[in-house]
Structure 1
Amino acid sequence: MPFWWTFGKVPEVSAPELQQLAESLDREQIDPKPLIIDVRTEAEYAAGHVKHAVNASFLPPWSFPNRVEPIVKDVPKSAQIIVICLSAHRSIGAYKWLRSEGFSNVKQLAAGMQDWRARHLPEQAQK
């Protein structure tokens, strides 16, 4: 089954857990450093994203590897990676691709940015 088939259950992190992780990146040296990848479109990302998240749009899915490879090329395979999308569907495909590349500690944000926003958690926006 292709990685872009965005159905199934994958490990998740809650919005409060991700907020705590993002905040800890400002205060602590974590080795290997966790990576937060927002797989929404560039416009969605620019409108508001989790602090420290980098953007690698999942759309179209067959181009995702070309967008994310430069981001993960120097990341240890054991590093924690959290993938984020709007409603936790596109992130499933991103999760599957990252796992297929040997990354062992990948999770998605449960219920995506919809839950993050419902909880009124802080967002960064591009100017």
Structure 2
Amino acid sequence: MGKKIVFGLVIILFVGFIGFQFMNSSTEIQNISTDELANKMESPESDMVFIDVREPDEFAAGHIPGMTNLPLSTLSEETADFPKDSEVVIICRSGNRSVTAAEQLQGYGFTNLVNVVGGMNDWAGDIE
């Protein structure tokens, strides 16, 4: 009976350790302000991707130059055709859809996700 308990505890500890390692290595979504977004866009790194997840009519009504429209409603692993280790900066109208998009991309294996808090509502820069 004692050996079964020890073996059970070893299994529980092993499974717990593996679970902890998995959770510890998960990707955290970084939040930035629109001012920080402006700074990133002034001197973007070569592996940065800037996406606006608003619908096409919202995007056409006014968007930040340099953003690519990839509506949340069409976002899939196939439409997210950029490298999974790219820094992906995501904006929407208020910051809610961009969080959802970041979580979705996280599920597809993207590892460097940045949400713009406040979205276009807080953007004070140029739009086209």
User: Is TM > 0.5 for Structure 1 vs Structure 2?
Assistant: yes
User: 1:49 aligned to 2:63?
Assistant: yes
> Cα RMSD (Å) of the superposition?
1.9
Gaps of 5+ in 1: 1-8
Q: Distance in 2 between matches of 1:50 and 1:106?
A: 18
Of 61, 69, 76, which aligns to 2:78? 69
Give, in angstroms, the shift of residue 82 of structure 1: 0.8
Give, in angstroms, the shift of residue 15 of structure 1: 0.7
> Equivalent residue for 1:58?
72
Give, in angstroms, the shift of residue 44 of structure 1: 0.8
> Equivalent residue for 1:109?
116
Deviations 1:7-45 (A, max 9, x none): xx94211111111121214xxxx332x001101011111
Gaps of 5+ in 2: 1-27
Deviations 1:54-112 (A, max 9, x none): 001113xxx421xx733x32x22221101111011111111011111111110111111
> Equivalent residue for 2:96?
89
Give, in angstroms, the shift of residue 50 of structure 1: 1.5
Identity of paired residues, percent?
32
**Bigger Cα Rg:** 2
> What number of residue pairs does the alignment pair up?
101
Give, in angstroms, the shift of residue 121 of structure 1: 1.2
Q: CA 1:15–1:23 in 2, change beyond 3 Å: closer, same or farther?
A: same
Larger RCO, structures 1/2 (Cα 8 Å, 6+ apart): 1
